[in-house]
Chains A and B, each alone.
Chain A
Amino acid sequence: MRLAFFGGIYSNHLALAAAIADARSRGVDAMWCLGDLGGFGPHPDRTCELIRNNNVSVVQGNYDHSIGHGLNDCQCGYTDPRDNHFAQLSYDYTLTHNCDDHRTWMRTLPAQQRVEFDGVRLLLCHGSPRRTNEFLWDSTTSTQFLAKMCDNNACDVILGTHTGLHWQRTWDERGAVSTKSRGFINVGVLGRPENDGTINVWYTLLRTGGDVGAGEAPLPWEVEFVPLIYDHERLACEMRDERLPDEFIQTILTGWWTTCLEVLPSKERRRGQW
């Protein structure tokens, strides 16, 4: 099987349209979005329409839970006043620009989903299986923690998003880092670039069974992180027209994060400009 996973869309409907087309051109059998449809970008309704019209299954993110229930904030869990200021601007815009039909639909989305392909048990969630808004960063999440989470949830692979940075780790039954059968995959996000000075965004392909590349000892599954180019200048233009903060627009145009930086651990923070 060939499966495509999109992380947070953050209303980047142009990247989402490009990702759906790219995934289809690669012959994927199914597509999922792991939540956080809105926030940051313009015209949140357009993202919902694309998702609902293209047979993309969705797991509920903290943003979708908040917008669906009309809560006061996005539940992203920022601790810094400046980060919270920008998060609130983005949330208030998204809340007032989503139609009732989409909001009702968001309330019905599952918090997680279990699927099995070719004997590989996948658990799809937004942050972590135990908490929708848990940040699992590459440099602050130990392998034994991930191994225990897989054991507790009786699955082989956990897929999540939420942090905005793609990464993966695999391990064997004893928890050692290796290329064995268990794994955690952060599928990245389509919403904004990865704070590395490039303007592309990322999504993830997962192959199982006969679609896994040939090798001496083929693994039960394999991952490919896909860098995606889209019309980022048009997105910036739409954001300007919607009077979204210039700080957000700069991120789209430069590839460097300008907000929501305080939750980054030091290894991830050092890779950015700010």
Chain B
Amino acid sequence: MNSVANPEQLPIVELGSLDELWFQVAGTRCNLSCTHCFISCSPHNDSFGFLSFEEVERRLLEAVEWGVKEFYFTGGEPFLNPQLVAMLERTLAFGPATVLTNGTVLKPEWLERLRAAEQGSLYSLEFRVSIDGPTPELNDPIRGPRTFERAMQGVDLLVQFGFLPIVTMTRVWDEGQDHEILGRFRDVLRQRGYGRARLKVLPRLLLGAEANRTCGYSSSDRVTAEMLIGYDQSQLVCQHSRVVTDRGIAVCPILIDSPGAILGDTLQAANRSFAVTHGACATCYQFGAICTNPSHK
């Protein structure tokens, strides 16, 4: 490896191994319109569409040859896709599955089926429920009126069915407050009967709706080729992930709506290098492994 990078050289990252295959299963359709959403999902955003059961199954079969380790389902709100439960049942025959949900549309009959599917599988089914802080005062201005209580009811329901959801929050406070906020959230969840709460904090991504709300990334928020020298590239999501969307295979779940993010129609076509020149790539570089579960490290 060169020890000095040419200043004009692009910061190129190869796909090292395809460990995580993501499904943009609900496209950009969501029942909520969070102010910080990095792909501006909403009830009316159809820029990416739903995936079909057949499409997911086809990719699962394709994933076997690639040695994919884990599968993730995201949107939008994945549970808006009426075939999601069947897709998860099928996926658990191939590997572990994680769903990123806002927790507000869950139904007991779905969770009953999913609990049975997980019990019959070798693999874990994880739920990551997005709630941006331990109080409605922190969460609701970002995610919408009453969304704190509705999402917490979703957490209650998951716990009732024996799941251990990972409450995932975007850091809308100073990093120095993490310890205090996490402690408060654990107390709130304990009071509701979730005694061994699992929590994950995500950095804010200045894209989509969040870029409209703030100033977005500046031109200096960039990864350079020199910054990649000696850096553990497995910290970057694009080094070990790809995303199935209805428009093709995208490089990572954060950038699907960004120029150049769709790499091809098949996993083979998407097995190519990517220049991490977007502002969000700098956030990924700084914080590392931001999209995967804590058990993945």
Task: Tell me the smallest distance from the CB of B166 to a CB of chain A, in Å.
Answer: 8
Q: Which of B118-126, B246-254, B256-264 makes up part of the contact surface?
A: B118-126
Nearest-neighbor residue (CB-CB) of B126 within chain A: A266
Interface size class of B (residues with CB under 8 A): 35 or more
A145 touches B67 (CB 8 A): yes
Chain B CB within 8 A of A269 CB: yes
A274 touches B196 (CB 8 A): yes
- Chain B 146-159: CB-based contact to A (< 8 A → 1; otherwise 0): 00000000000000
B178 touches A177 (CB 8 A): no
Write out the residue numbers on chain B whose beta carbons fall within 8 Å of the beta carbon of A147.
Answer: 67
- Chain A 125-147: CB-based contact to B (< 8 A → 1; otherwise 0): 00000110111011111111101
Chain A CB within 8 A of B132 CB: no
Q: Out of B65, B70, B125, B179, which one reaches A266, CB within 8 Å?
A: B125
B179 touches A265 (CB 8 A): no
Write out the residue numbers on chain A whose beta carbons fall within 8 Å of the beta carbon of B234.
Answer: 131
Write out the residue numbers on chain A whose beta carbons fall within 8 Å of the beta carbon of B123.
Answer: 139-140, 142, 267
Query: What is the CA–CA distance of A262 and B196 in the complex, to the nearest angstrom?
Result: 9
B294 touches A270 (CB 8 A): no
Q: Out of B70, B164, B179, which one reaches A142, CB within 8 Å?
A: B70
Write out the residue numbers on chain B whose beta carbons fall within 8 Å of the beta carbon of A215.
Answer: none
Write out the residue numbers on chain B whose beta carbons fall within 8 Å of the beta carbon of A144.
Answer: 63-68, 94-95
Write out the residue numbers on chain A whose beta carbons fall within 8 Å of the beta carbon of B125.
Answer: 266
Chain A CB within 8 A of B295 CB: yes
Chain B CB within 8 A of A79 CB: yes
A148 touches B162 (CB 8 A): no
Query: What is the CA–CA distance of A267 and B163 in the complex, to the nearest angstrom?
Result: 9
Task: Tell me the smallest distance from the CB of B89 to a CB of chain A, in Å.
Answer: 16
A177 touches B68 (CB 8 A): no
Chain B CB within 8 A of A263 CB: yes
B122 touches A145 (CB 8 A): no
Number of A residues with CB within 8 Å of any CB on chain B: 35
B196 touches A77 (CB 8 A): no
Chain A CB within 8 A of B296 CB: yes
Counting chain B CB atoms within 10 Å of each CB, the highest count among A148, A149, A177 belongs to A148
Write out the residue numbers on chain A whose beta carbons fall within 8 Å of the beta carbon of B67.
Answer: 142, 144-145, 147-149
A137 touches B295 (CB 8 A): yes
Q: Out of B63, B65, B164, B295, which one reaches A140, CB within 8 Å?
A: B295
Write out the residue numbers on chain A whose beta carbons fall within 8 Å of the beta carbon of B63.
Answer: 144
| Given contact pairs A147-B67, A266-B163, A266-B164, A139 touches B296 in the complex (Cβ within 8 A) | no
- Chain A 188-203: CB-based contact to B (< 8 A → 1; otherwise 0): 0000000000000000
- Chain A 249-274: CB-based contact to B (< 8 A → 1; otherwise 0): 00000000000011111111110001
- Chain B 60-80: CB-based contact to A (< 8 A → 1; otherwise 0): 000111111110000000000
Nearest-neighbor residue (CB-CB) of B127 within chain A: A266
A residues sitting closer than 8 Å to B (CB atoms) are 77, 79-81, 130-131, 133-135, 137-145, 147-149, 169, 175, 177, 261-270, 274
17 additional A-B pairs beyond A77-B297, A267-B124, beta carbons within 8 Å, are: A79-B200, A79-B297, A80-B294, A81-B178, A81-B182, A140-B123, A142-B68, A142-B96, A143-B95, A144-B67, A144-B68, A148-B67, A149-B67, A261-B196, A262-B198, A264-B295, A270-B162
